[in-house]
Structure 1
Amino acid sequence: MPYFTTSDGTELYYSDQGAGQPVLFSHGWPLSSDAWQVELKLFADAGYRTIAHDRRGHGRSSRTYTGNDMSTYASDLAELVDHLDLTDLVVVGHSTGGGEVVRYAAQHGQGRVVKVATAGAVPPIMLKSGSNPEGTPIEALDAIRAGVLKDASQFWKDLAEPFYGANRAGSAVSQGAKDDFWRQGMLVGLAAAYDCVKAFSETDQTDDLMAIDVPIFIAQGGDDQIVPIAAAAEKSIKLVKDGTLKVYPGAPHGIYGAYQNELDQDILAFIKG
């Protein structure tokens, strides 16, 4: 298993397979690069080099107490990309990973990144405020932190339900998918899981979105119960220079099933276009 050590001594696990133009995938909270297993194979089979890392504190990477913030996540990614010397790079991020790749592309990606794709991403800012009334109330975010501290194992089981829309009538999400969400959640360090809530909800990425000067594909499920679409994709598309927005009616926050199949084909088409 390949590991890379960042400048502050954090070990990052990453997967690297296939050959061709590089496509780097960044996962959501509290998951790991395993969340992209289907895409890593599908895109490699389509002729791309596919890379995905476990964010610091998550998966098989170091269980860090410090640096669990969006700027450090993006800096870690920049160091990994530099280490692998990736150019003509496409970055793809889901949820928190969407925030990570947006900040990376805006602040570190010049000369390397040629396209950005996000799905259910947290930018521009998730927290509800007077200027962002569509966002998530701080009380709901505090409840997430309390749940993680009280009984993380049960919290991941509970969170999988709205994450995949399993609490909706007619949901076809499998028990296996929910079990795998729990499995990945149990690998995250508690400090990283706790601190990441602030990172994904309170980081204002308005300037990052405005700074991106390459094409960006912004996707979000129309029934996303985790990241409010009115505070996320619908605002992000108005801030970017060269963006395409696609909303998937009825789709949840988690990438699964028919939504996953359609999204993957759309991203492949976006890269080729």
Structure 2
Amino acid sequence: MPFIAVGAENSAPIDLYYTDYGSGPPVVLIHGYPLSGAAWEKQVPTLLGAGYRVITYDRRGFGNSAQPGSGYDYDTFASDLNTLMTELDLRDAVLIGHSMGTGEIARYLGTYGSARVNRAVTISTLGPMLLKTDDNPEGLDRSLFEGFLDAAASDRYAYQTTFLNNFFNWPDTRGKRVSEDAYRGNWNLSVSASPIATYECIKTWMTDFRADIPRIDVPLLIIHGSADKVLPYPNTAPRLHEMLPDSQLVTLQDAPHAIPWTHPEEVNGAIMQFIGAPEPAMAR
């Protein structure tokens, strides 16, 4: 199993698990909460088939990566991504993030710049800022996040059931776009995450990305479901698009938060239209 070391905690290394498939221009897939890089299984074949090199990785605390007791903030997450990009020497990469993964893209580009990045895709975006404050009246009340924290601390297993119900819009997609087996598999993956990471990552949803977003200087595609119950559409995607008017916004009507799984044809089609097929090696 391939790992990249991003730090250490006491006597234990902090390693990120990653997969690296194919050849061609690199695409880095950054998963959402509370899953892992395995969540991209409906995108990986399409990208490989189009001639891209496809890299997924598990965020610290999730999947097969280390589960440290600290480092659950977007400065650290962006540093982890930067280590991956540097260690694999990725150049002209496409960054694609879902949910929490969109925060890595914003903070990475805002902090480290776009020297290694060709373009970016945010799916079910977290930015620009989800928390309601005096200077961000379009956000959500702090009490909502505090309720999530209380639920995760009280009964992490029950919390993940509630979360996945909203993640998939389960009453609407059950047996149609999401099978009972897929739901169960995602629940098993969710509860395998570190209890510390599960709790601490909720706090990161209140991160302010408004200073990062103007520093995004590569073409950006925004894909979002209009019926997203985790990161509500009116509070997220249109606002990000307004801050970056040269970006492209694709709205999937009546679609939930989990669109990489529930609407793969639409998501993959939008991605491929945006990034195109790579040039043949001799032409690059």
* Contact 2:114/2:218, CA 8 A, preserved across alignment: no
Distance in 1, Cα, partners of 2:190 & 2:19:
19
Partner of 1:63: 67
Q: Contact 1:213 / 1:241 at 8 angstroms: preserved in 2?
A: no
Matched, 1:3 2:3: yes
Pick one of 46, 51, 54 that aligns with 2:58.
54
Structure 2 residue 138 is the aligned partner of structure 1 residue 130: no
Q: TM-score, normalised by structure 2?
A: 0.91
Q: CA separation of 1:177/1:16 partners in 2, compared to 1, >3 Å: closer, same or farther? A: same
Residue-by-residue CA offset, 1:46-71 (whole Å, 9 max, x unaligned): 21000011001111111111110011
What is the CA deviation profile of residues 183-237 of structure 1, one whole-angstrom value per residue up to 9, with x for unaligned ones?
Answer: 22112111111111111x2211011111011100011100000002122111101
Native 8 Å contact 1:237 1:243 kept in 2: yes
Deviations 1:64-95 (A, max 9, x none): 11110011001000001100000010000001
Report % sequence identity: 34
C-alpha RMSD of the superposition: 1.7
Question: Is the CA contact 1:222–1:251 (under 8 Å) kept in the aligned structure 2?
Answer: yes
- Distance across 2 between alignment mates of 1:46 and 1:244: 21
Amino acid in the other structure paired with 2:199: Y
Of 205, 211, 218, 2:222 maps to 218
TM-score (ref. length: structure 1)? 0.94
Confirm or deny: 8 A CA contact 2:35 2:189 kept in the other structure.
yes
1:113 matched residue in structure 2: 117
Match of 1:189, as an amino acid? S
In structure 2, do the counterparts of structure 1 residues 206 and 50 end up closer, same or farther at CA, with 3 Å as the change threshold? same
Per the alignment, residue 246 of structure 1 pairs with 250
**Which consecutive residues of structure 2, in runs of 5 or more, have no partner in the other structure?**
278-284
Partner of 2:280: none
3-state DSSP of counterpart to 1:6:
strand
Matches of 1:129 and 1:136 in 2, distance apart?
Answer: 8
Name the CA distance, whole Å, in 2 between partners of 1:99 and 1:185.
Answer: 19
Q: Which residue of 28, 32, 35 maps to 1:28?
A: 32
Residues 2 and 14 of structure 1 are in contact (CA less than 8 Å); yes or no, is this contact kept in structure 2? yes
Q: Which residue of 2 aligns with 1:265?
A: 269
Moved more, 263-272 or 239-248: 239-248
Is the 1:220–1:253 Cα contact (8 Å) retained in structure 2?
yes
1:89 is the counterpart of 2:55: no
Structure 1 residues 213, 106: CA separation in 2 closer, same or farther (over 3 Å shift)? same
| Contact 1:156 1:181 survives alignment (8 Å) | no
2:151 equivalent in structure 1: 147
Aligned length: 272
User: How many Å separate the matches in 2 of 1:62 and 1:258?
Assistant: 29
**Distance in 2 (alpha carbons) for counterparts of 1:256 and 1:174:** 15
- Take 2:7 and 2:155, find their aligned partners in 1: how far apart are those partners? 33
